[in-house]
Amino acid sequence: MTKKILILSVFVVASCGLAYELIAGALSSYLLGDSVLQFSTIIGCYLFAMGVGAHLSKYVRDEHVLARFVDIELAVGLVGGLSAAILFLTFSWMGAPFRLILYVLVFMVGAMVGMEVPLVMRALNARQTEFAEIVSRVLTFDYLGALAVSLLFPLVLAPYLGLVRTGFLFGMLNIGVALWTIYVFRAELTELAGRTLRACAVLLVLVLGFASSDRLTAWGEHGLFGDQIVYATSTPYQRLVITRWKDDTRLYINGNLQFSSRDEYRYHEALVHPAMEKLPWAKRVLVLGGGDGLALREILRYSNVQHVTLVDLDPAMTAAFRQREELAALNHKSLSDPRVTVINADAAIWLQTTQEMFDAVIVDFPDPSSFALGKLYSVPFYGMLKRHVAANGLVVVQATSPFFAPHAYWTVNSTLREVGMRTYPYHVYVPSFGEWGFIMASPQADYVPPATYRLPMRFLDGRTTAAMFAFPPDMQPLAMPPNRLNTQSLVHEFEQDWRRTIR
């Protein structure tokens, strides 16, 4: 019976160990971007630390193996369980030490996890279990635990519990293993009362943390965003936060500002109308991204538009901006318009499966800060997109800032040209963002910016439009290679551009 208990504990501790690693990788990706870099460095640090822990385990004396195993479970449960909350609050309120604390926590947890399995194997060996059986059973349950968490984390834990609450949950599981080990092997352990008391104290801390994780998250996000948070949710794809200060409503995705209601009209008028004004015959329009419905609001002002298809990955985004009254007011209830079909799907996959053709396409994706987003700015993606646009139709792409991220901006331009599109870059000043850029493109059509507009505008007129298509000396074109899916140079250019800006 005691052997089975030890084997089962391997399944639990393996699950917990991988969960802490996934939490650190996901949280750093959310907050720092570049998911490949974050996961690669965290996995490397974690595995190295496990090796250190496995080495240190040899210094534990045979008669103390079970006692040290319990002590490690208490320590890894406390540190690992609190890790997500510590990292989130550090980033929100302190900023600068985040990376240092991230890797210190990853190393600490990895070293302790690295000691667990060797200690269990030694405990089994002391109970006269054959070595071959020890290795087979321990590694089998170790890998099964890793498999269980690798499936549960993206499908259930992260989207429904959130990263902070998930951390507390797995910390409690580690403490549960410690308490169960104390109970089962009480005859072989010393200081039972002290260890039990410490385990109960740590468990109480984790339970309280689990129960108050929403408050902790809200407090951390208040430090990050400053303004009152009126809506926040974690989805399988991203963290959505909406804040309000006086008459200013703002949307943040993974901590990055997407719009401010005070000046979003500048952005969305510039995104939509220079194209739509030149297409009085356009009947079918495609919007990729733009789940807030703000670009859709501008498109629906044209009476010639008969149908708009909006493809946005996250159903939580489109649901919030359709159902919440204050958000639906911003987009004039555009997501509920009978002319609109909303499709929640990956835009790249959807383009591969649809046969529809469109007269105009508005591409309003978040900036290419990760490889998952970078693929939506790649040669293969634009090649697919081109096949769904009328020969004389127009495509407009949100393309980051030509001032703050010039290498990234002109990479988007060269990528569109690589698939045979004619491109017409332009830019606009949006106070919340600074100088921002778009690329107008067409399979065949020549483009001349409109001198007048049929509809009344808050910002655009012939003069401001002409200025948008003129680039001053400090924003002149750069010769950049296209963004290919294999290398995704755009993601690296984007990161480097913004690093230079921050410095």
Distance CA 320, CA 284 (A): 25
Catalytic residue among 364, 367, 461, 474: 364
Please enumerate in sequence order all residues whose Cβ is within 8 A of that of 143, keeping only pairs 6 or more positions apart, or say none: 14
**In contact, 185 and 2? CB cutoff 8 Å:** yes
Q: Catalytic: 364? A: yes
Scanning 33-97, the segments in alpha helix (DSSP H) are 35-56, 65-93
Q: How far is CA 144 from the centre of its chain?
A: 27
- Cα 281 to Cα 275, 284, 285, 443, distances in angstroms: 12, 9, 11, 17
**In contact, 287 and 448? CB cutoff 8 Å:** no
Sheet of 358-364: strand order equals 340-343, 307-311, 284-289, 358-364, 389-398, 434-442, 422-430
Total number of residues shown for the chain:
503
Cα-Cα-Cα-Cα dihedral of 332, 439, 275, 288, to 10°?
Answer: -50
457 CB burial (10 A radius; 0-12, 13-18, 19+): middle
Pairing of strands 284-289, 307-311: parallel
Scanning 153-293, the segments in alpha helix (DSSP H) are 163-184, 192-211, 213-225, 264-276
**In contact, 213 and 199? CB cutoff 8 Å:** no
Active site residues: 364
